[in-house]
Amino acid sequence: MHVLSVFGTRPEAIKMAPVVKALSAEKGIRSITCVTGQHRTMLDQVLALFDIKPDFDLAVMAPNQTLNGLASRVMAGLDDIFAEVRPDYVLVHGDTTTAMAASLAAAHRNIKIGHVEAGLRTYDLAKPWPEELNRRVIDVAATKLFAPTETSADNLRAERLGGEILVTGNTVIDALKETVGRIDNDPAIRTRLEAQFSFLDPSRRVLLVTGHRRESFGDGFLNICKALAELSRRADLQIVYPVHLNPNVSGPVHELLSGKPNIHLIEPQEYLSFVYLMNRADIILTDSGGVQEEAPSLGKPVLVMRDVTERPEAVAAGVVRLVGTDAQRITGEVERLLGDAAYYSGFARILNPYGDGLASKRIAASLAGRDIAPFAI
Ligand code: UD1
Ligand code: UDP
Do the Cβ atoms of 35 and 58 come closer than 8 Å? yes
In the chain, the N- to C-terminal Cα span, in Å, equals 32
pLDDT value for 261: 87
- Annotated catalytic residue 212: yes
pLDDT value for 137: 98
Residue 363 class from Cβ within 10 Å (0-12 exposed, 13-18 middle, 19+ buried)? buried
pLDDT value for 93: 98
Do the Cβ atoms of 98 and 36 come closer than 8 Å? yes
Ligand 1 center–CA 214 separation, angstroms: 10
Sheet of 205-210: strand order equals 263-266, 237-242, 205-210, 283-286, 302-304, 320-322
Ligand 2 center–CA 288 separation, angstroms: 6
Query: Tell me, what DSSP letter sits at residue 239?
Result: E
Mean pLDDT of 183-207: 98
Residue 271 CA: which ligand is closest? 2
Please state, in angstroms and rounded to a whole number, the distance separating the CA atoms of residues 292 and 57.
29
List the Cα angle 36/42/45 in 5-degree steps: 100
pLDDT band for 369, please (50, 70, 90 cuts): very high
The one catalytic residue among 121, 135, 136, 244: 244
Alpha helices by DSSP H, the chain:
10-24, 41-49, 67-85, 97-108, 131-141, 150-159, 171-185, 187-196, 219-231, 247-257, 271-280, 289-298, 312-316, 327-339, 341-347, 359-367
Ligand 1 center–CA 33 separation, angstroms: 20
pLDDT value for 20: 98
Provide the mean pLDDT of the chain: 97
Mean pLDDT of 230-249: 97
Q: How far, rounded to the nearest angstrom, does the alpha carbon of residue 34 sit from its chain's CA centroid?
A: 19
- Annotated catalytic residue 117: yes
pLDDT band for 138, please (50, 70, 90 cuts): very high
For 6-60, how does the pLDDT look when each residue is reduced to its tens digit (9 = 90+)? Answer: 999 999 999 999 999 999 999 999 999 999 999 999 999 999 999 999 999 999 9
Model confidence, pTM = 0.98
Ligand 2 center–CA 14 separation, angstroms: 8
All domains of the chain in start order, with CATH:
2-170+355-367 (3.40.50.2000), 191-347 (3.40.50.2000)
For 196-213, how does the pLDDT look when each residue is reduced to its tens digit (9 = 90+)? Answer: 999 999 999 999 999 999
pLDDT value for 377: 85
Taking CA atoms only, the protein residue closest to ligand 2 atom 13 is 11
- Annotated catalytic residue 306: no
- Annotated catalytic residue 335: no
Rounded to the nearest 10 degrees, how much is the dihedral formed by the CA atoms of 297, 353, 145, 364? 50
- Annotated catalytic residue 2: no
**Which numbered atom of ligand 2 lies nearest the CA of 45?**
7
- Cis bond before residue 128 (omega within 30° of 0): yes
Residues with CB under 6 A from ligand 1: 9-11, 38-42, 61-65, 67, 70, 95-97, 130-131, 212, 245-247
- Annotated catalytic residue 214: yes
- Cis bond before residue 130 (omega within 30° of 0): yes
pLDDT band for 92, please (50, 70, 90 cuts): very high
Residue 232 class from Cβ within 10 Å (0-12 exposed, 13-18 middle, 19+ buried)? middle
pLDDT value for 323: 98
List the Cα angle 193/195/259 in 5-degree steps: 100
Do the Cβ atoms of 363 and 168 come closer than 8 Å? yes
The full length of the chain comes to: 377
Mean pLDDT of 115-126: 98
pLDDT value for 161: 96
